[in-house]
Structures are given as C-alpha cells and as structure tokens.
Amino acid sequence: MASSKPIPCGPCQEGKVNTKAEYWCYNCDEGLCSTCSGHHKRVRGTRDHKTTDIKSFKPSIQAIKTECNKHGQQLNLYCPSHLMPCCDECISTNHIKCTEIKSLVGVVEKTNTDQSKQSLEKQIKSINHFLEKLVINKSQNITRSEREYESIQDFIVKIRKEINSHLTRLEKKLCNEAETILNQVKSEASHFITEIKVKQKNLKKMQEHLHTFIPPTSKLQLFLGLHQIEQQVHQCQRYVDDLEDDNRAKEFNIKMKQNDEISKILRKSESLESLGEIMVVRKEPDLNRETSVRRKAQVESRKQSNINNMTMNIETKIKTDLEKVIYSDMICLVDGRVIVVEEWGKVNLLTSDGTLLKQLPIPCEAWSVTQINQNTIAVTYPAEKAIKIFNMENETVTKVITLDKVCYGLSFSNNSLAVDLDDKDDEEDDDKEIRIIDMEGNTLKSIPVEIQSNPFHLVYGNDRVIYSDFGGKAVYCVDETGKQIWQFTQDLTGPWGLCTDTYGNIIVADYTSHRIIVISKDGQNSKVLITQKEGLVGPQYICFKHNVSSGFICDYTGTYWAKFHLSSG
C-alpha cells in the first residue's frame, strides 16, 4: 500500500467502533471490514459496487466523489450527448430531451481503464512537452523584444539626426542665398553713390565757373558763358528727373518670403503627437500543436457535429433591468457578461442574469458591436460613418475608424473587422458591400453584396463571412474574395440574428416563424431546434457564451430574453 497508516472501516466508524478495513469499495469510496463487506454484498443498493482487497488498493491523492455535486444523488447514468455521468435528477431536469441514456455501470465496464490511463499519461506528457517548448519560445521572445526595443530607439535617433541634418542643409543654403543677394545690392548701391558724387563734382565746378563772370567781362562773353553753364545744368536736371524711374534710387530691404510648404509642415508638426506607433504584432509560434489532446478533440468535433442529434433547451427566462426599447445587436463577452445595443442609441453592459451594470460612455448613436479582446469592443455608428474602438476597463474611445459609407453589421476575427457598408442609409439601395479592414481602417478585401436588405448581422471567421438576408429569406456564406460558398433558403421566413457554434454550424433566429434553426457548416442540412410551442416568441438575436454550448436568445425589444443550452449528439 502507498501508506503505512491502516485504513479504517467506514461503517464501523459511523458506529463509533474502530475496525481495520480489509476491503475497499470504489463506489462508496471507503474501507470495509470483512463483516461489513459481507453485508455490503447482500444489500441490493450496493451489491453491484466494485470492491478490491485492501492490499491491492492504492489510495488516490484526492478521493473522487461518486455523488452528483448538484443534487447529492448517486451518479448511476451516463448521457452520450453531453459525454457526462448523471444522476436521476439530472436526467429529469437538464437531459430530458437527450437520447440513448445509458447505465453508468455498463459504460464503466466497457471502458478499458488501463488504456484510458495510458492515453491520459501520453496526453499529459504531450501537453507538458508543448508547454515546455512554449516557455522556451516565450523566453526567446522576451530577449528578441528587448533587441527590437533597442532597434526602435536607434531608429528614433536616426530619424531625429536625419531631420536635423536636412534642416541644417536648408539653413546653410538659405543663408548663402541671403549673403549673395546682400552683396549684389550693396555693390549696385555703391556704384550708384560713386556716379552721384561725379555729378556733384561737376555741379561744384559749374558753380565756381559761374562766379568768375565779373566785370570787365563783356556782355557777349557773359551771355555765351552763361549759356554753356545753363546747358550743363539742364543735363544735370534731366539726370535728376530720370532718377524717379531709376530703381537704383529706390530704397531696398532684404526680406524672406517663407515657403508655403513650411507653414504646412509647421501645422502638421503641431498636430503630430508622435513619430510613430509602437504596437505588438502577434503571430503563431513555430511550435507543433498537434498534441494527442488536440487530435482527440478534433475526432470528437467531427463526431459531435452531426446536426441531426442536436437539441436546444430553454433553461431559464430572464427579466432584465432594461426598459422595453428596440435592440439592434446583442453579444456575450468572453467573461460571460452581455452587451445590448439599443437601435440608434446606447450601449448597455449587463450581467448574465440581466442585471444592468452600466451604460458605456460611448457618444452618439450605436448600431452593432463585436468584441476585440478581453477589455476592448468595437461599435458601428452609421450616422457618423465610423467604427469606434472602446476600452471597457478605462472607459475611453481609443480609436475612431472613419469610413466612406454608412456602416451597420460588424464582426471581428484574425485581427481584422468585417463591416456591412452601404452608400446610403437605405435598405433598398443596391450599392452594398462587406468590407474586411485592418485595425487601422485599411481595406483588405471588399465583398459585393446583392441582396434585398442589408446584412445587418454577420459572422466573420475561418476566412469566410456568413450573413442573413431578412428580405430575401436566406442565409449566405462567402469567402474573402466574395465567392459564394453556399446559399440557404429552405424553410426560412425571416432570418435575423445568427451565430456559429464551436463546430462551425450556424444557429439562426428566424423571426417571423418564431423558431431557432441550425444550418450545417457546409450549408447542406438544417434542423429546427426550438419553435413557438416551447414558448419562443419573435427571436431576433442569439449569441453564445465563449467556448461553451449555452447562450442567450432575445426578441426585438427585450421582452423575451432566455438562456439556452445546446446539446450535440
């Protein structure tokens, strides 16, 4: 045995008697003495229990209960649809529509526990090996990111040096031009001054010559002398008169006309908040993820994706704190909380039981919402032709993506957004598209849409887009190039909201027929899951909780809001 401490007999201990156990009952999870063991085998309720000699028994690190945690009853049945043990109460409440319920004892007897144990041990080793590789990869990732940080610093310094060097060159060039022009105008002015001084000397000579005309100069000589001087004065007067049109006589100033591009650059630099944006770009690590656990999950996925074995149960009807308003979208966050968008209105955050936590402080009139990560959502605003990225933790709009068309339906996948766009705020307009954009708003793909109504509700993922056409009574599946993969119209009367389960099947809220319908991933088959007979009234929105087979159904005004569970056979 794993422990030297003797195991007591459980029934004897209940009677305040300490007796050493000789057998161990796996079903009761307690030891039995020879007397109690004999009684144990004769009682109808315990005669089928599995026991072993106490010497062969190896106690587990933690005892495994054989009773239902929820109801306290013995686990004696097995549900193949949910792959889980059940008690009688579980079957009568949560598994009433499940088929092929089996005896747990029969399932246990048919199970090769040794093989299962070996398989689990192999899976544990495989997972551990993968996690070890992931730790090494992440450590290398940290070292690489530190080098990238240093590279970014060097790049910033390089940008600054290049800008400074270019400005220095422009400064030197402009100063040289100013010096050249200054020398030109100085030289011109100096020559002009020299010319004027020559004229001044001539005038002085005329004046001196004029003073020599005194008696006994004859009148004739005086006349002729004055005439000569007068001619010279007239020449000087014409020279002075001509100076009015001579640019050399004008005052000059050296000024600089600023390049218009400088003003633009200065205006841009004032609005320039950073030299760039530092971001984290994530990609799949180069690791082998094909562990035995993953392969088994894929086998189970293929096995359970048959929609003919699917059942949907309404677990509870929910009364919310919201007033009866018209909804335009509804999603379930990864943490289980729910977001409800009022048509052309507010964005509300609720608990999974319908309690209103808050109205998110995102301005203007919202339409559709999708989750980006744990704390971030994206919301379309048709009137603004914009998508707003909102951080729920900080309660701030971190980015606004402006579009050239009115935007409605929205879905996020693979670090990009699929958004329904229309040129006009008109359902009947033909110029519709579903545009795939990155988180900066750059267009990656454009998918033309030719349907009767806008694809207000769409699901983007696995390189395909699925959307509903309420007016055309159809659901479409297209790839990212716009090529139609399939079109489904059978039995649909008014498809509105839709989502996909963990296997890729499409769950559709068919509003006018009061039904929830599942369409197979390939669009070839369908099945009605819930009808008005189960109390369903006008369903328009449906959403799953993250990675589980349960979620919420809601009508147009929130009057009917219910929690459902989806079983896959």
C-alpha to C-alpha distances, 326 to 218, 344, 353, nearest whole angstrom: 123, 9, 20
User: Is-contact 202 232, C-beta < 8 A?
Assistant: yes
pLDDT for 507:
94
Q: What does the pLDDT read at residue 284?
A: 66
CA distance 161 to 148: 20
Measured between alpha carbons, how far is 89 from 524 in angstroms, rounded to an integer? 37
pLDDT of residue 241: 86
- How far apart are the C-alpha atoms of 119 and 127, rounded to whole Å? 12
Q: Which fold has domain 307-568?
A: Neuraminidase (2.120.10)
Q: Quick one: CA torsion of 188, 194, 195, 197, rounded to 10 degrees?
A: 150
Q: What is the pLDDT of residue 385?
A: 94
pLDDT digits (tens, 9 = 90+) for 382-432: 999 999 999 998 899 999 999 999 999 999 988 899 999 987 655 455 678
Three-class DSSP labels, 108-162 = HHHCCHHHHHHHHHHHHHHHHHHHHHHHHHHHHHHHHHHHHHHHHHHHHHHHHHH
Q: What is the pLDDT of residue 363?
A: 82
Task: Look up the CATH number of domain 1-63.
Answer: 4.10.640
CA dist 298 and 301 (Å) reads: 5
* Phi, psi (degrees; rounded to nearest 5) at 236: -65, -35
* Edge-to-edge strand list for the sheet holding 51-53: 30-32, 23-25, 51-53
At 299 the pLDDT is 37
Assessment of whether the complete model's pTM goes beyond 0.75:
no
Q: Which amino acid is at 543?
A: C
Q: What is the C-alpha to C-alpha distance for residues 8 and 20, in angstroms, rounded to an integer?
A: 5
- So where are the chain's domains? 1-63, 67-100, 307-568
Hunting for tokens 């701030």 — which residue is that?
A: 396
- For residue 306, what pLDDT is reported? 74
Contacts with 372 (C-beta within 8 Å, 6 or more apart), sequence order? 378, 389, 412, 439
pLDDT in tens, the chain (569 residues): 344 678 899 999 888 888 999 999 988 888 999 999 999 988 888 888 888 998 888 765 456 778 888 888 889 998 887 788 999 888 888 887 777 788 888 888 888 878 878 888 888 888 888 888 889 888 988 998 898 888 888 888 988 899 899 989 988 988 998 899 899 989 999 998 999 899 899 889 888 888 887 777 788 888 888 888 888 889 889 888 888 888 888 888 888 888 888 878 777 777 766 666 666 666 666 665 544 444 443 333 334 457 888 899 888 888 888 877 788 999 999 888 999 999 888 999 999 888 899 999 998 899 999 999 888 999 999 999 999 999 998 899 999 999 999 999 999 988 899 999 987 655 455 678 999 999 999 999 999 888 877 778 899 988 899 999 988 899 999 998 889 999 999 889 989 999 998 788 999 999 989 999 999 999 999 999 999 888 888 898 999 987 678 899 998 777 778 899 988 75
